[in-house]
A and B are shown apart, each in its own frame.
Chain A
Amino acid sequence: MKSHNLREKGVQYLLTALAFSALFGLLLIALFILKEGLPFLTQVGLKDFIFAHDWEPQSGKFGIYPMIIASLWVTFGAMLIGAPLGIACAVFLTEFVPRPVMHTIKPMIELLAGIPSVIYGFIGVIVLAPLIRTHLGGPGLSLLAASIILGIMILPTIISISTDAINAVPNSYREGSRALGATRWQTVYMVVLKAARSGIISGVILGMGRAIGETMAVIMVAGNAVKVPGTALDSVRTLTANIALEMGYAVGLHRSALFATGVVLFIFIMLLNTLASAFVKQEIRRR
């Protein structure tokens, strides 16, 4: 009769163990990347690694400053394009068009979220870079091209999450505002966006994480020259591109330096995540 108790206990222990799989994976990843990058970091020092300008592995110069700056600019540029477009799109779909229209367009955009990043990169090379080269000058494959391509890539993420956040705002807020004589736009601007803020911000942060972590599309369109960009038309190399480009043949200290680049990237991402979860937590506390 009590055999079920034994089985219940067994299942519970098994599930408890499974529940730690993601956390365990995360720690394992952090541990291995760190372990591989640490010899380099102790030998060269984190400060020299981050602030040195020259990356010449064959002559033992490992400075990733230009790559950090490039990653930050590319991400910033992508946000500049993706965030306003994405949020405008989400507001338009939720507040300004009939429901059925939203229910046809939103799925389309979400379907397109699945387009592989290599294809975005390819479009960047074939279509965008020549356009930039002929109309604006420079090599075409550039910070600008990478920003635009990444900005487009993160659009579906931002739109999807922002739409959900705006939809979650209770209708009574809108009705209350309209009843006080506000126009639809004033209501959106003063009430809806405020209430949906935390959701929209977490969507933007997620997009940011995706932009800073993107590798293949960036390799294809950014040009990959190791230098601090002077203008948006310059060719740049990001942290992720640096790892992927040289991992194939790197050995010894060079290889370790690439893993150390991974460590720096990892730290960036963790900072972003902590920021995102702090936002959400703060919002929950306010309610």
Chain B
Amino acid sequence: MMRIPAKVNQAAAATVMALATLLTLAVLIFIVVFILEKGLPILSRTFLFSVPRDMGKAGGIFPTILATIILPLLAIALALPLGVGTAIYLTEYTRESRLTRIIRFGNDCLAGIPSIIFGLFGFLFFVTLLEMGWSLLSGGLTLALMILPTIIRTSEEAIKSVPTSYREVSFSLGATRWRTIQRVVLPNALPGILTGVMLGIGRSIGETAALIFTAGSSLRLPQSLFDSSRTMSVHFYILAREGLSTENAYGTAAVLILSVLSVNAVAYYLMHRYMKKNA
């Protein structure tokens, strides 16, 4: 049998991989372009800023935009202190031990739980047991739990990347541990932490399964955190699945994709600038 020359082998491998990369990019870009092409023409000031009529078949999507802003912010407000606190504890207050391994394992497990399970839990615990009902609050709490692992992990990375020498200088100047964290560690870890925040917001905007059972699907303008409200993702799902209005579904999808992409772009920009600074 003839041996295939190494050069030919390499050329073949490179070609296959190049095609795989092109295919991947093409598919992902196709999805975005497809949605924007059909959705952007639908967008208008009335579509964005008026309330829906006839279950969303007509009218705009203003309440869903509002819910899509409130819910992620609520989730961040709850998850940020917990997540950054955990990250500080893991990096600054304890050394690697059985306990930290358990905490990290628990965090990894939480990260792996499917959103539908979060939805079930949120329904049982916040909606039913704590009697919050289908509401922005129930949804926000559920989302907070869901994005907590992301916040913890990115904050931990960010805090770890603050040079040890900064801490030593601070201690040598008579600072306490907490003071060092406040004045030196956290300010320098901030861009990294913000990256986690943006990723968490991005995930919250795109979430559907966990919210249907917790925030509900009311189309009215929410008056308080105890009102039910549907986000753009949920609205899009209902429109598309029940075939209510393809036109409005495309319009909603376009706004949804634009928001997620811009939030992720900010996250990426922060991360990139941060890494450059630390290089």
Contacts and interface: CB of A to CB of B under 8 A. Distances in A.
Interface in A258-286: 259, 262, 265-266, 269-270, 272-273, 276-277
B205 A88 contact: no
Nearest to A5: B176
A161 B118 CA distance: 24
Given A22-B106, A29-B121, A119-B256, A244 B116 contact: yes
A189 B176 CA distance: 51
Contact of A7 (B14, B105, B178): B178
B17 A88 contact: yes
A244 B212 CA distance: 9
A22 B148 contact: yes
Given A96-B14, A109-B24, A16 B205 contact: no
A198 B67 CA distance: 40
Interface in A73-93: 84-86, 88-89, 91-93
Contacts, number: 242
A152 interface: yes
A28 interface: yes
B276 to A, nearest CB: 11
Which of the listed residues B31, B113, B263, B268 has the most CB atoms from chain A within 10 Å of its own CB? B113
A93 B17 CA distance: 9
B213 A84 contact: no
A58 interface: no
A11 interface: yes
Interface string A226-267: 000000000000001001100100000000000100100110
A215 B119 CA distance: 11
A12 B88 CA distance: 10
Contacts of B209: 215-216, 240, 244
Contact of B103 (A19, A88, A125): A19
Interface string B63-95: 000000000000000000110011011100100
B158 to A, nearest CB: 16
Contact of A277 (B18, B27, B82, B105): B105
Contact of A213 (B25, B113, B237, B240): B113
B173 interface: no
Which of the listed residues A16, A115, A185, A209 has the most CB atoms from chain B within 10 Å of its own CB? A115
Contacts of A7: 176, 178
B89 A15 contact: yes
Q: Is the interface of A mostly helix, strand, loop or mixed?
A: helix
B117 interface: yes
Interface stretch (B4-12, B48-56, B159-167, B219-227): B4-12
Contact of B264 (A4, A114, A123, A277): A114
B40 interface: no
A210 to B, nearest CB: 8
Contacts of A269: 109, 112-114, 117
Contact of B120 (A4, A23, A247, A273): A247
Interface in B1-40: 6-7, 9-10, 13-14, 16-18, 20-21, 23-25, 27-29, 31-32, 34-35
A119 B35 contact: yes
B176 A265 contact: no
14 contacts: A15-B93, A22-B149, A25-B110, A32-B124, A32-B125, A88-B20, A108-B28, A114-B202, A119-B31, A120-B31, A183-B6, A213-B117, A215-B208, A240-B114
Ranked nearest first, the 9 interchain pairs of A and B with the lowest CB-CB distance are A213-B114, A116-B206, A18-B85, A23-B106, A185-B10, A88-B20, A92-B17, A19-B89, A15-B89
Interface of A: 4, 7-8, 11-12, 14-16, 18-23, 25-29, 32-33, 36, 84-86, 88-89, 91-93, 96, 105, 107-123, 125, 127, 152, 155-156, 159, 183-186, 188-189, 206, 209, 212-216, 219-220, 240, 243-244, 247, 259, 262, 265-266, 269-270, 272-273, 276-277
Given A18-B82, A96-B17, A183-B9, 12 more contacts: A8-B176, A23-B102, A23-B106, A29-B117, A105-B21, A109-B25, A117-B206, A119-B256, A119-B257, A127-B34, A185-B6, A215-B208
